[in-house]
């Protein structure tokens, strides 16, 4: 099952002409590209002169979210200097005939993960730290992180029967054990998640959606794209939210990677209070805990799978950092 993305044949002639004018070559053909978990318009465009470029945005059939975030991503590519060393080059945008596409350097020759290696994961974390350090002075260029859906997931699961049923349903035969684990852990999880947005920790420009489908490695350096959720938020959340996906995809754990991040940051004088780590771990686990067991969303047919992949490691890490009992395994 794949996402309902628009076809290249849906792109009208005037939009193609504008792309041609922008890149300076006639287009030979275009193909849809799948990779993330959403339905945004994503194309590889083959030019007559032999080059390829990548187009990403909204158009025929795009939903409200697609339309809302394209300008956010466009503004990031245009206005934030800090992301340039860590991103595909931005070639310009085309807005015509009900389409809004960003033209980007095609990363087709850059290395994709998984498979993760320890070396690649450490490189990624090191480069995220460099991005955070560079981005701090520019954090005023983006909106503050939307706290909704981040700081009260465990509270919602505790006080809403439907929500707790969705979560407990993920444990199959171990449901009773999971319920006991929850009851032992709620107080600590809820207290920790509620501290996520405290201001007395390092804040700055964050990507907010770092995962293997939004990154590549070029010349062994991290390249990040999909800047649609770029915002100002707690720096540590950006990495702690990323780690469960690495482990879920067979890479190293948060236990291995967080010290790499903290060392790279402290080398430049940025250190984190211990509550920040606990808050981000609790909030990340809560984020996936409150979503994974919900019914599928038709336009996002693979979303629950990737959430499940992240939930296991996220729970494990939260339990470790918060000194909770070990949660039972997911089905």
Ligand X SMILES: Nc1ncnc2c1ncn2[C@@H]1O[C@H](COP(=O)(O)OP(=O)(O)OP(=O)(O)O)[C@@H](O)[C@H]1O
Q: CA-CA distance, 233 to 133, in Å (whole number)?
A: 13
Alpha helices by DSSP H, listed for the chain, are 13-23, 64-79, 118-135, 153-159, 161-168, 175-193, 235-240, 243-248, 254-266, 274-289, 303-321
Kindly state the smallest distance separating residue 77's Cβ from ligand X, in Å. 11
Helix (H, G, I), strand (E, B) or coil at 324: coil
56 lies in the site for ligand X, by CB under 6 A: yes
267: exposed, middle or buried (Cβ count in 10 Å: 0-12, 13-18, 19+)? exposed
Kindly state the smallest distance separating residue 62's Cβ from Mg ion, in Å. 14
CB closer to ligand X, 195 vs 213 = 213
6 lies in the site for ligand X, by CB under 6 A: no
Helix (H, G, I), strand (E, B) or coil at 102: strand
252 lies in the site for Mg ion, by CB under 5 A: no
85 lies in the site for ligand X, by CB under 6 A: no
207 lies in the site for ligand X, by CB under 6 A: no
Which residues from 189-218 bind Mg ion, rule CB under 5 A? 214
CB closer to ligand X, 107 vs 191 = 107
* Stretch touching ligand X by CB under 6 A, among 31-39, 125-133, 183-191, 286-294: 31-39
Q: Taking CB within 5 to 8 Å according to partner kind, which of Mg ion, ligand X, none is near residue 312?
A: none
54 lies in the site for ligand X, by CB under 6 A: yes
Helix (H, G, I), strand (E, B) or coil at 27: strand
Q: Taking CB within 5 to 8 Å according to partner kind, which of ligand X, Mg ion, none is near residue 42?
A: ligand X
74 lies in the site for ligand X, by CB under 6 A: no
Binding mask 33-52 for Mg ion (x = CB under 5 A): ---x----------------
Q: And the tokens for 300? A: 């996002």
* Stretch touching ligand X by CB under 6 A, among 10-18, 106-114, 171-179, 257-265: 106-114
Q: CA-CA distance, 22 to 16, in Å (whole number)?
A: 10
Buried b (16+ CB within 10 A) or exposed e, 31-59: ebbeebbbbbbbbbbbbeeeebbbbbbbb
CB closer to ligand X, 31 vs 268 = 31
Considering only CA atoms, which of 122, 114, 153 is closest in space to residue 286? 153
Q: Which residues bind Mg ion (CB under 5 A)?
A: 36, 214, 226
């Amino acid at each position: 099952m794949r996402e309902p993305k628009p076809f290249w044949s849906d792109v009208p002639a005037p939009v193609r002409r504008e792309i041609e004018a922008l890149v300076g070559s006639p287009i030979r053909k275009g193909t849809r590209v799948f990779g993330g978990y959403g339905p945004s318009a994503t194309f590889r465009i083959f030019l007559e002169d032999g080059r390829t470029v990548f187009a990403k945005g909204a158009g025929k059939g795009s939903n409200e979210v697609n339309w809302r975030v394209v300008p956010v991503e466009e503004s990031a590519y245009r206005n934030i200097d800090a992301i340039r060393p860590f991103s595909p080059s931005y070639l310009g945008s085309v807005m015509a005939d009900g389409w809004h596409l960003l033209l980007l350097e095609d990363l087709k020759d850059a290395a994709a993960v998984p498979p993760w290696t320890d070396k690649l994961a450490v490189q990624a974390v090191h480069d995220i730290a460099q991005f955070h350090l560079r981005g701090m002075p520019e954090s005023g260029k983006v909106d503050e992180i939307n706290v909704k859906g981040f700081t009260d997931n465990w509270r919602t699961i505790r006080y809403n029967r439907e929500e707790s049923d969705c979560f407990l349903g993920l444990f199959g035969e171990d449901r009773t054990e999971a319920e006991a684990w929850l009851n032992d852990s709620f107080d600590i999880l809820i207290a920790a998640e509620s501290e996520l947005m405290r201001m007395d920790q390092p804040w700055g420009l964050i990507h907010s959606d770092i995962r293997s489908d939004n990154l590549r490695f070029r010349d062994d350096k991290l390249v990040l794209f999909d800047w649609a959720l770029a915002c100002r938020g707690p720096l540590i959340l950006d990495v702690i939210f990323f780690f469960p996906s690495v482990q879920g995809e067979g890479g190293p754990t948060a236990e291995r990677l967080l010290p790499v991040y903290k060392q790279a940051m402290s080398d430049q004088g940025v250190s984190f209070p211990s509550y920040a780590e606990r808050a981000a771990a609790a909030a990340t686990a809560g984020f996936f805990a409150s979503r994974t067991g919900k019914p599928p969303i038709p336009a996002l047919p693979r979303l629950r799978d990737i959430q499940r992949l992240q939930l296991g490691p996220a729970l494990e890490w939260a339990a470790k950092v918060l000194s909770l009992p070990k949660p039972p395994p997911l089905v």
